[in-house]
Amino acid sequence: MPSYKLVVLGEGGVGKSAITIQFTSNVFSPDYDPTIEDAYRIEANIDGEVVGLDILDTAGQEVFSAVRDRYMRDGEGFLLVYSLTQRSTFVPLSKVYEQIKRVKDTSRVPVVLVGNKCDIADTQREVQHGEGEFLARSFNCPFFETSAKLRINIDNAFHELVRQIKKWQPDQDKPGVDNQNSKSGCCVLL
């Protein structure tokens, strides 16, 4: 069974844990409990194939940013999450995306951009849908507006991230493509 390492990144309070727990356990907890690092292992049926998913739910607080390089090195795909109701969580994502590319030493990374809390965006929205689409185009990645509370687009976001990883991985074996991050090879350290 193929297995994939997914990393959920974003500022504190955007709903990274709520999205991850909703996906892995079908549960929503309205209580905010800052995460340091939580790991989940599940099996999922994606496009008719059962796959193993190792999901790392990361800390959003700046104090834990030093460990981000490790998350980024080890991850195969990244869910970049912001809150539709807080512009301050949207702005840093370009920097995070550039950091992932730098750490992985590549110009192409499997990413899905997620604007969370669409269930309350009608009354509290600070980031417009078009802004999320524009940022996703600049990352060359899919974009979803989600609600962990109502389970809107949660499965779609994670499933699409796996599709992005699968789409990206075959390029590793093509001639002329940087194979430095390839899993095949004698000197790869993970």
172 touches 179 (CB < 8 A): yes
Alpha-carbon distance of 185 to 178, in angstroms, equals 13
* Token code pair at residue 15: 């709903």
CATH node for 3-173 = 3.40.50.300
pLDDT one digit per residue (tens) for the chain, 190 residues: 999 999 999 998 999 999 999 999 999 977 666 555 689 999 999 999 999 999 999 876 554 455 677 889 999 999 999 999 999 999 999 999 999 999 999 998 999 999 999 999 889 999 999 999 999 999 999 999 999 999 999 999 999 999 999 998 755 443 344 444 433 333 333 3
Domain ranges of the chain: 3-173
E strand segments, the chain: 3-10, 37-46, 49-58, 77-83, 111-116, 143-146
